Amino acid sequence: MHIKRVIPIFFIIIALLYIIFSFTVEERKMIGDVRGWDPGSRAIPIGIGLIMLATSIYLSRKEKSPPGQDRKPHDPGIRKLTILTILLCIFFILFFRFLGFIISTHIFLFSLIFLYYKRDIRWSLIPEFSIGLLICTGVMIAFYSIGRFISRYLFLLGRKSEILVLKSKLATAGVPLVILLILFTVLLIILKNPIKRGKYRVPLIAGFSAIGITEFLFIVFRQIFLVSLVKGFVFW
């Protein structure tokens, strides 16, 4: 079987196992969720598993080669990517509770994007990968901290002043999202040239993508749908 067909099929199995694992996670809901909007702590892992499953099935169908088409020899780079992707999935599952949602999701996304951009995996990439991951993780924590501070400040201000709109999701989720988008855009403009053709182009692309996706997921699931996310190292 061609290596390109093996990869999607393998991830179908991984996605199914991950979904099964998600149902074994202890179900927790917020105590103050009087309206019943919190879908529980299983929502995100089950959702990720379903997305993985749908994507794997799509790739499995897409990679069918036309009849009579010559198949290329196995690419060592693809095999390395497959192994590393498997290890990253295992890392994400095993350390999700220990590291917390923010850190584990950011590391997982940064690593995947970095590796799939590079494709030619070599030991010499470790310094570039490590420095990029550390810097981008610091920026991610800074973005998270700014968003949490603004959200809590607005909520407390609304409770003291009895202004209901400040305690609503429109303020506690919408305002931080807008401010973070502005900061994100400013950083993109400042680093426009390095992202396009600089030496650290790939770490920057991986970092900005991981930060944007992680922060967006956090705001949507935690701030809007009130899903109980594991804090881990980022406990505030």
Rounded percentage of the chain residues whose pLDDT exceeds 90 = 29
CA angle 156, 161, 162 (to 5 degrees): 95
* pTM (predicted TM-score): 0.76
Name the residue type at position 138: G
Taking the C-alpha atoms of residue 22 and residue 165, their distance in angstroms, rounded to an integer, is 35
Shortest CA distance to 189 belongs to which of 211, 204, 173, 206? 204
**DSSP symbol at 221:** I
Provide the pLDDT for residue 74: 53
What is the average pLDDT value for the chain, to the nearest integer? Answer: 80
The mean per-residue pLDDT over the stretch 13-30 comes to: 66
Query: Is 229:158 a contact under the CB 8 Å cutoff?
Result: no
Shortest CA distance to 105 belongs to which of 220, 226, 225, 198? 220
